[in-house]
C-alpha cells in the first residue's frame, strides 16, 4: 500500500497536464489528482489556439464575400458583429472546458479548483489550505503573456485580453513581430479594425524562413496592416482630448492617475514611437513575449532549478533535478506548442508508470502561423541549412488560381530545402491559404527522411497550389 495520498499530482489543467493525468489514471491505473487555479483547457483551449483560430475563421469571411462577386455571386455584406461572435465564442469555450472536466472525471482523476504550490519533493499545498502527498509531482502550469518594462504599459492589453473585449476598437496598435502579434494583426484587420504594428526588428517572424517572412510582411500590408519594422515605442499615456497640447507634444512617461492594478484602459491612448511619431489609438496590444508560470510555486525551495526567464530545467525525460518532480509544456520553454506538451505528457507516463524511458523527439516538428495567408513550416530554414551543409533551394511563388481569377494580387510560396549530399529534404516552407493543413502532410514525409527524388516520384494533384511541391525540378539556387 502506498504511503502517499496520490501516485501522481499534476499542477496545471492545460492540454499537457490533462493528457498526462488521464493516461496515468485511465491506462496505467495510477491514483491521480490535478489542480487548476483558472479554467480547464489552459492557454490553448481558453486563451490561445482554439479561440484564436475561430477568430481567424471569422476574419476571413469579409474577404470571401468580396471575392465571391468575381465569381458571379451578389452577396450583401452588412459587416461584422463582435457581440454576436463573442457570445458564440464564449459558449464554445464553456463547452470545451466542460469536455475537459468530464474526461478527467471519466478517467478517475480527482480535481481541485485551486492554486497549487510545491511544499517539498513529495508534498503539494493548495490555496484552499489542503495539503496532499504524492509519489510524483508533474508541473504543467504553462506560461503567460508579459508586458514590456515601459511606463504605463498596464494601460494596454495582452493576448489573453483580446477574447474578453466588450467591443472592437476602431484602431489598435500592436507591439511585437512574433507569430502572436502577426496573427492578431491579420485577424483584427480582417474584422475591420485599423491596425498599426510596430516591431523593433528588421523583419517580422524572427526565426522563420527569410523568404517566407518577407512574403507575409507584404501580404499583411496588402491586407491593410500599417506595418513598421525597426520601430518601437518609448512611452504611452491616456489621451485627454483636444486639450492634450496637440499631437506634437511629448508623451507623458510618468505614471498616469489610474493605478496599475486597475488593469488595461479602454482608449484612447497616446503613443510615441522611436521614429518620432506620436499617434492616438483606441487600444494598444502588447505581443512582446511570454513567461513560464513558475513564480511563487515553491520550486526552487524544493530543489528545482529554474533557468532563464523562469523556465523549469528538465532532462530529456522531463525530469527536474528533484527525482520526484517532472515538468512538461510551456513552463519548460522548450518547444511551446500544444501538441508538443501533449507528447511530453504521454512520454512522461510511459517513462514513470510503464517503466519504459521515453524521451520526446523535438526535431522536425511541423507548425503553422495563422496569418493571412498562413505559413506552414517544418525542418530547417534556408539560412539554418546553408550554415550546416551545401544545399539546393527549390522555390516558386505565384498567384493561385482562385485569387488570380478574382484579380487579387496575393501570392503564395512553395519552398523545399534539400541536402546536396544525402538528397534529403531538410525543410519545407509554405505560405498559402490552408498552409497549416498542407504542412501536416509534408511533415510526415520529411520526418520519414524523404528525399527530393521521393517528392519527384509523387504524382501531382491538379489543379492545386500544393502540386508545386512535387513538380519543382530545377533548384532556384544553391548555397
- Indicate which residues carry an active-site annotation: 462
Q: Retrieve residue 359's grid coordinates.
A: 524521451
Number of neighbours of residue 84 by Cβ within 10 angstroms: 10
CA 284: distance to chain centroid?
19
Cell numbers 477574447 correspond to: 163
Number of neighbours of residue 390 by Cβ within 10 angstroms: 11
**What does the buried/exposed string (b/e) look like for 43-54 if buried means 16 or more CB atoms within 10 Å of the residue's CB?**
bbbbbbbbbbbb
Task: Please choose, from the candidates 200, 201, 172, 167, the residue with its C-alpha nearest in 3D space to the C-alpha of residue 188.
Answer: 172
Instruction: Give me the numbers of helices (H) and strands (E) for the chain, helices first please.
Output: 13, 23
Number of neighbours of residue 310 by Cβ within 10 angstroms: 17
Q: Please report the beta strands in 142-260, taking only residues with DSSP state E, as ranges in sequence order.
A: 143-145, 157-158, 171-175, 194-199, 226-229, 233-238
Q: For helices 82-106 and 49-68, what crossing angle results, to 10°?
A: 140
Rounded to 5 degrees, φ, ψ at 6 are: -135, 150
Task: Please choose, from the candidates 166, 206, 170, 162, the residue with its C-alpha nearest in 3D space to the C-alpha of residue 50.
Answer: 162
Task: Please choose, from the candidates 141, 16, 40, the residue with its C-alpha nearest in 3D space to the C-alpha of residue 98.
Answer: 40
Judge whether 419 and 391 are in contact, CB under 8 Å. yes
Reduced to 3 states (helix: H, G, I; strand: E, B; else coil), residue 292 is: strand
**What is the DSSP annotation of 390-438?**
-EEEEEEEE--HHHHHTT----EEEEEEEETTT-BEEEEEEEETTHHHH
Judge whether 355 and 333 are in contact, CB under 8 Å. no
Amino acid at each position: 500500500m502506498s504511503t502517499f495520498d496520490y501516485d501522481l499530482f499534476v499542477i496545471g489543467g492545460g492540454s499537457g497536464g490533462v493528457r498526462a493525468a488521464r493516461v496515468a489514471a485511465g491506462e496505467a491505473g495510477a491514483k491521480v489528482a490535478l489542480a487548476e487555479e483558472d479554467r480547464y483547457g489552459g492557454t490553448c483551449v481558453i486563451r490561445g489556439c482554439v479561440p484564436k483560430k475561430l477568430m481567424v475563421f471569422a476574419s476571413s469571411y469579409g474577404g470571401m464575400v468580396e471575392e465571391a462577386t468575381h465569381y458571379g455571386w451578389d452577396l450583401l455584406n452588412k459587416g461584422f458583429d463582435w457581440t454576436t461572435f463573442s457570445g458564440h465564442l464564449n459558449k464554445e469555450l464553456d463547452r470545451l472546458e466542460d469536455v475537459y472536466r468530464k474526461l478527467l472525471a471519466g478517467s478517475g482523476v480527482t480535481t481541485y479548483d485551486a492554486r497549487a504550490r510545491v511544499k517539498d519533493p513529495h508534498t503539494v499545498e493548495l490555496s484552499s489550505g489542503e495539503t496532499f502527498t504524492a509519489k510524483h509531482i508533474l508541473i504543467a502550469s504553462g506560461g503567460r503573456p508579459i508586458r514590456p518594462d515601459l511606463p504605463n504599459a498596464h494601460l494596454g492589453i495582452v493576448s489573453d485580453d483580446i477574447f474578453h473585449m466588450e467591443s472592437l476598437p476602431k484602431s489598435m496598435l500592436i507591439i511585437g513581430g512574433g507569430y502572436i502579434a502577426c496573427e492578431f494583426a491579420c485577424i483584427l484587420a480582417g474584422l475591420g479594425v485599423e491596425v498599426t504594428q510596430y516591431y523593433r526588428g528588421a523583419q517580422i517572424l524572427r526565426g522563420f524562413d527569410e523568404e517566407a517572412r518577407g512574403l507575409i510582411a507584404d501580404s499583411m500590408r496588402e491586407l491593410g496592416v500599417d506595418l513598421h519594422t525597426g520601430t518601437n515605442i518609448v512611452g504611452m499615456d491616456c489621451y485627454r482630448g483636444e486639450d492634450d497640447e496637440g499631437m506634437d507634444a511629448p508623451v507623458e512617461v510618468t505614471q498616469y492617475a489610474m493605478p496599475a492594478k486597475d488593469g488595461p484602459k479602454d482608449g484612447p491612448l497616446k503613443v510615441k514611437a522611436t521614429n518620432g511619431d506620436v499617434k492616438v489609438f483606441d487600444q494598444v496590444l502588447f505581443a512582446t513575449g511570454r513567461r513560464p508560470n513558475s513564480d511563487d510555486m515553491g520550486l526552487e525551495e524544493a530543489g528545482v532549478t529554474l533557468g532563464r526567464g523562469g523556465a523549469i530545467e528538465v532532462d530529456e525525460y522531463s525530469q527536474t533535478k528533484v527525482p520526484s518532480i517532472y515538468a512538461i509544456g510551456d513552463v519548460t520553454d522548450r518547444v511551446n506548442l500544444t501538441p508538443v506538451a501533449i507528447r511530453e505528457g504521454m512520454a512522461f507516463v510511459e517513462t514513470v508508470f510503464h517503466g519504459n524511458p521515453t524521451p520526446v523527439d523535438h526535431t522536425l516538428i511541423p507548425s503553422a502561423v495563422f496569418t493571412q495567408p498562413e505559413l506552414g513550416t517544418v525542418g530547417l530554414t534556408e539560412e539554418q541549412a546553408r550554415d550546416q551543409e551545401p544545399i539546393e533551394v527549390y522555390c516558386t511563388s505565384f498567384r493561385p488560381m482562385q485569387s488570380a481569377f478574382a484579380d487579387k494580387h496575393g501570392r503564395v510560396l512553395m519552398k523545399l530545402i534539400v541536402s546536396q549530399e544525402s538528397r534529403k529534404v531538410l525543410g519545407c516552407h509554405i505560405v498559402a491559404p490552408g498552409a497549416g493543413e498542407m504542412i501536416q502532410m509534408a511533415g510526415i514525409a520529411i520526418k520519414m527522411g524523404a528525399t527530393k527524388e521521393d517528392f519527384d516520384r509523387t504524382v501531382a494533384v491538379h489543379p492545386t497550389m500544393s502540386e508545386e511541391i512535387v513538380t519543382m525540378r530545377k533548384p532556384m539556387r544553391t548555397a
